[in-house]
């Protein structure tokens, strides 16, 4: 969630510095739970043109260690999440695969 520079954590996304609210990072650090995100992918089967399929794809768990330097850990965790999110958005929306192939 975008927020003001005064209350957010500065991170790099798409070549710019933005300030994001660190709530999910703080919650994950406090509980020890990893952050897992989900997104959709379209798949096409070259053997069956016009029969696209959608799949829900989950990210690898983002583990956030509890450190003594909380501010550095929050900044690092939020930047790692942003980098993963940006890479996911840059990925092409369709992928040609044979259905049943592991992705």
DSSP string, 38-74: EEEEEEE-TTSTT--EEEEEEPPPB-----S-HHHHH
H/E stretch holding 20 reads strand 16-20
Per-residue pLDDT of the chain (103 residues; tens, 9 = 90+): 656 667 789 999 999 999 999 999 999 999 999 999 988 888 777 777 777 788 888 989 999 887 778 889 999 999 999 999 898 888 876 565 555 555 5
Spatial distance between the Cα atoms of 2 and 90, rounded to a whole number of angstroms: 20
Q: pTM for the whole thing?
A: 0.73
Residue with tokens 């927020």: 3
């Amino acid at each position: 969630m975008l927020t003001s520079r005064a209350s957010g954590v500065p991170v790099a996304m798409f070549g710019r510095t933005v300030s994001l609210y660190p709530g999910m990072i703080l919650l994950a650090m406090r509980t020890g739970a990893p952050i897992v995100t989900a997104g959709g992918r379209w798949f096409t089967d070259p053997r069956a043109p016009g029969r696209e399929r959608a799949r829900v794809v989950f990210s690898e768990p983002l583990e956030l260690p509890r450190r003594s330097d909380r501010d550095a850990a929050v900044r690092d965790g939020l930047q790692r999440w942003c980098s993963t999110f940006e890479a996911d958005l840059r990925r092409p929306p369709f992928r040609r695969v044979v259905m049943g192939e592991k992705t």
